[in-house]
Amino acid sequence: MLGVSVDFPTTWACLGDIVFRLLRCEPVSRESWNSSFTDVYALCNSRPVSHAPILYSSTASLISSRVKEINMLLEDLSDSELLPAYVQHWEIFHRGLTYLDKLYRFVNQQYVKNLRPTEAEMCYSSILPMADRHTMEILEVGLANWKLYLIDSVKDRLSGCLMREVHNDRLGVVGQQNCISLAIDSFRRVGELRDTEKAGMDIYNRIFQDPLLETTRAFYTNWAFKRESELACAQYITE
């Protein structure tokens, strides 16, 4: 299929609305969804100049704006509201981002792929911020923004919420424990970034594992001290 001249502002007016809706998992008609694939293809193959670069940057801008918007919403919440809200926003954002990545498959394969650096270039660029090292696929753009503008912003509060729920679980208090695994999954997903294989593990360690080890040590030290004062030696050893 030969490329023809495509007016970017006109086409983006419709496609940009679809991107906006996908990032929020808002309803999109089947007709609009199907026609969006044609729009993406047409913009990338526009002649005499491809609109792939501006399509990519415009889409990345919408992704970044959405993540920053979510961060602002979370900042206004109390610590008791933060964890379930974080999980809810993450599930919606990641689901929508996955659909968006499918929609932009042609962009990923024909535009981004050609801009991928060589292994040598990746080595020399390792000192650069993640988002500056190379042009990322759309899914990666979303994950990188989620880490940069959201996780890095709420990591201390989020860690406190997770430790609170671990403590509640140990005490048999029903709370928001069902959110723990979902939050941890978001850390793992961020680790899917190609050039940051350890990113997910580093986030997991910093926000969850390291604090967990410390609180576990403190909890059982305190538990052992109390039981030692309450039980006879034989009972204490048995327990």
Residue 89's φ and ψ, nearest 5 degrees, are: -65, -40
pLDDT value at residue 233: 59
Is 25 strand, coil or helix? coil
Q: How many C-beta neighbours within 10 Å does residue 76 have?
A: 8
Q: How many C-beta neighbours within 10 Å does residue 112 have?
A: 19
**Distance, CA of 185 to CA of 207 (rounded, Å):** 12
pLDDT in tens, the chain (239 residues): 556 899 999 999 999 999 999 999 999 999 999 999 999 999 999 999 999 999 999 999 999 999 999 999 999 999 999 999 999 999 999 999 999 999 999 999 989 988 765 555 555 444 444 444 458 999 999 999 999 999 999 999 999 999 999 988 888 988 999 999 999 999 888 876 655 556 657 788 888 878 888 887 776 676 666 666 666 555 555 55
Which residues touch 71 (CB under 8 Å, ≥6 apart)?
Answer: 149, 150, 153, 154
pLDDT value at residue 223: 60
**Distance, CA of 10 to CA of 17 (rounded, Å):** 12
